[in-house]
């Protein structure tokens, strides 16, 4: 049981480049979300999805796109990378908005130069 | 206004002693959930404990307990018998409202260091 798998673990981008951070879960979770973690800021919600075909914006959505074509996958796209997007990105999933904790991926450390 | 407030500076505790990590929250929704997560230096996020707003009793999970004071809107984490492996960043989070479109919001975290 792999849980939540994020790839890549590390990435360096040049300003203006685009890329996709991958997130996949094998727990049949309906709820998936993307967070970014910056020093002193905690985790801030970028986008989330409550099921295939349904996505919504979180606290800091600008510069990021998401789609949810399957229950398992929830990729995060950086359209034109900026140094302000240097951060650690976490994907998380949950079976339902109930008592259970969210399962987090191991994170992607992204540096934009 | 912040939804989750964690204002303690870095916390220190002696091994085998208990420690309380503070968390206050702000919501007008009667239905919400409160979480605590641990993030060790390796970076992964580890779920510790959950408290629902309608739960009659404080949540406990092994050495972790949540001191839930609804009227004060506080959800403090108590770690008993601290161990060296408890040294980590701890995040309080709130999900509101509970339901299909709920969001999980995190505080800024508290660093705990356990001294031998």
Which range, A1-5, B22-26, B95-99, has the best average confidence (pLDDT)? Answer: B22-26
pLDDT 10s digits, B52-83: 999 999 999 999 999 999 999 999 999 999 99
The whole-angstrom distance between A16's CA and the closest CA on chain B is: 27
DSSP A46-105: EEEEEETTEEEE-SS-TTEEE--SSSSB--EEESS--GGG-EEEEEEEESSSSSSPPEE-
Q: Nearest Cβ partner of A97 from B37, B100, B105?
A: B100
Task: Choose the closest CB to B103 out of A41, A45, A107.
Answer: A45
pLDDT beyond 90 at A40: no
Mention every residue, 6+ apart, whose C-beta is less than 8 A from residue B56.
none
């Amino acid at each position: 049981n792999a849980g939540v798998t994020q790839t890549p673990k590390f990435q360096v981008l040049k300003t203006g480049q685009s890329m996709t951070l991958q997130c996949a879960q094998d727990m049949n979770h309906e709820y998936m979300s993307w967070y970014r973690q910056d020093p002193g800021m905690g985790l801030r919600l970028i986008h989330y999805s409550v099921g295939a075909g349904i996505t919504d914006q979180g606290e800091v959505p600008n510069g990021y796109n998401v789609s949810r074509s399957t229950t398992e996958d929830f990729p995060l796209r950086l359209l034109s990378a900026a140094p302000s997007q240097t951060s650690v990105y976490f994907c998380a999933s949950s079976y339902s908005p109930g008592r259970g904790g969210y399962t987090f991926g191991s994170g992607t450390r992204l540096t934009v130069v | 206004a912040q939804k989750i407030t964690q204002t303690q500076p870095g916390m220190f505790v002696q091994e085998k002693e208990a420690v309380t990590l503070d968390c206050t929250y702000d919501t007008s929704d009667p239905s919400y959930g409160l979480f605590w997560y641990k993030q060790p230096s390796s970076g992964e996020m580890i779920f510790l404990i959950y408290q629902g707003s309608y739960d009659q009793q404080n949540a406990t999970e092994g050495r972790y307990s949540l001191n839930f004071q609804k009227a004060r809107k506080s959800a403090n984490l108590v770690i008993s018998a601290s161990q060296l492996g408890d040294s980590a960043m701890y995040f309080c989070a709130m999900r509101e409202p509970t339901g299909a479109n709920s969001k999980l919001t995190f505080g800024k975290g508290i660093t705990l260091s356990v001294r031998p």
